[in-house]
Amino acid sequence: MPASPPISHPAPTPRRLPPLNAVRAFEAAARHCSFTRAADELFVTQGAVSHQVKLLEEWFGFLLFDRHKRELQLTEKGEQYLRSVRIMLNELHSATRSLLDEDSERLLCISVAESFAVGWLIDRLGGFRRRHPDLDIRVTSQNQIDDFGNIIGEEGPKWVDVRIRYGRGKWPGLHVTKLFDEDVLPVCSPDLLAGRPPLESVADLHDFVLIHDDMQMSWESWVGSTGSAETMSSRGLKFSHSHMAMQAALNGEGIVLGRSVLVSDLLEAGRLVRPLQLSVPAEHSYYLLCQEGMAGEPRVAVFTNWLLDEAKAFRQRKLHE
């Protein structure tokens, strides 16, 4: 009796999926009824969220939002899609977390601006590691984070547990803890002032090279905030990042506007000095952020408590200086 031919199965129909980044942007915008607040949550620009939502609407061929001048409203199809998307994203999150290996429970991923990492955090991390030797630490710069809160790197995506950010404290949908405020003040290498008479006023800054960076406060706005009518030149050394500008100041290249949190240790060590005893309150502060559901995770909780203790000790030390 001849063998029966093997049973053939039809090839699976390829899934037709929308762009997933656009789906994530749609869900955040729908939850907040705002592109701006969705952008704050996803750490992207308002224009990026708007573009992703428009991309999704073009993919569908119909609108998901009714856009009004003062508010954003879901269309009927948008509401229908949102219900399914929320279920899908929750299940995707749960499935992903369940497949993470056991080592992930010992790994704490911290996203932070390079300037804060170099100027404050790294010198203190040793104390945390000695207190919690069971935890491995990974520190990554904030520009290495994708829209889903994962680290972008050759090793593949890893979850970001906590972020330290500089801003106004408005990150809807996230668990936000304030660390400290700061002042902005001129600093320079002590070698730069050697053999020169002490600076007595803002006008004396004209005798020095000014170092500029892309921080929120320029020399012009800083001088204006001191009440001085002096006009400051935009000439001098210019850097895109504050830690590069700070290194130039340490090398004796000129005077830079330092943020008190980031220059405190350098001032205490004598590597930097204050040529003028003037400072201006910064418009922004430092905050610790995490997803609402992550705040109670053991590795996140111990890091949060340690960081708050360090921030408190830092603030108290500054009060007694």
Domain boundary assignment for the chain: 20-98, 105-181+285-319, 183-281
Average pLDDT, the chain: 84
Please count the residues of the chain: 321
Band (pLDDT 50/70/90 cuts) for residue 319 is: low
Task: Identify whether the C-beta of residue 212 lies closer than 8 Å to the C-beta of residue 245.
Answer: yes
The predicted-structure confidence for 128-146, as pLDDT tens digits, reads as follows 999 999 999 989 876 544 4
Query: Taking 80 as the threshold, does the pLDDT of residue 179 lie above it?
Result: yes
Residue 208: the pLDDT is 92
Q: What is the DSSP string of 162-180?
A: EEEEEESS--TTEEEEEEE
Residue 256: the pLDDT is 95
Phi, psi of 18 (to 5 degrees): -75, 165
The span from the CA of 138 to the CA of 135, in Å, is: 10
Protein fold of 105-181+285-319: D-Maltodextrin-Binding Protein; domain 2 (3.40.190)
Query: Taking 90 as the threshold, does the pLDDT of residue 147 lie above it?
Result: no
- What CATH number has the domain spanning 20-98? 1.10.10.10
The predicted-structure confidence for 273-289, as pLDDT tens digits, reads as follows 999 999 999 988 999 99
3-state secondary structure 207-240: HCCEEECCCCCCHHHHHHHCCCCCCCCCCCEECC
Give the number of other CB atoms < 10 A from CB of residue 196: 11
The span from the CA of 164 to the CA of 186, in Å, is: 24
Spacing of C-alpha 113 from chain mean position: 6
Phi, psi of 95 (to 5 degrees): -65, -40
Task: Name, in order, each residue with C-beta under 8 angstroms of 116's C-beta and a sequence gap of 6 or more.
Answer: 164, 166, 261, 262, 286
The predicted-structure confidence for 225-274, as pLDDT tens digits, reads as follows 988 888 887 778 999 888 899 999 999 999 999 999 999 999 999 999 99
The span from the CA of 158 to the CA of 141, in Å, is: 14
Closest of 171, 167, 164, 189 to residue 253, by C-alpha? 189
- The pLDDT of 186-208, averaged and rounded, is 92
Give the number of other CB atoms < 10 A from CB of residue 231: 9
Percent of the chain surpassing pLDDT 70: 84
Half-sphere exposure of 106 (CA within 13 A, CB side): 7
Strand partners of residue 166: 286
Spacing of C-alpha 170 from chain mean position: 12
H or E element, residue 265: helix 260-268
Lowest mean pLDDT among 37-51, 94-108, 226-240: 94-108
Residue 100: the pLDDT is 57
> What are the Cα distances from residue 191, in Å, to 184, 198, 241, 259?
21, 13, 23, 20
CA angle (119 as vertex; 285, 241 as ends), nearest 5: 80
Residue 14: the pLDDT is 65
Task: Identify whether the C-beta of residue 139 lies closer than 8 Å to the C-beta of residue 110.
Answer: yes
Phi, psi of 107 (to 5 degrees): -110, 125
Residue 156: the pLDDT is 39
- The pLDDT of 178-196, averaged and rounded, is 94
Amino acid found at 310: E
- The pLDDT of 176-202, averaged and rounded, is 92
Percent of the chain surpassing pLDDT 90: 42
Structure token pair of residue 122 = 């790294």
Task: Identify whether the C-beta of residue 238 lies closer than 8 Å to the C-beta of residue 109.
Answer: no
Query: Can you state the angle between helices 46-60 and 20-32, rounded to 10 degrees?
Result: 110
Task: Identify whether the C-beta of residue 123 lies closer than 8 Å to the C-beta of residue 265.
Answer: yes
Residue 161: the pLDDT is 85
Question: pTM score > 0.95 for this model?
Answer: no
Same fold, 20-98 and 183-281: no
One of 3.40.50.720, 3.60.15.10, 3.40.190.290, 3.20.20.70 is the CATH number of 183-281, namely 3.40.190.290
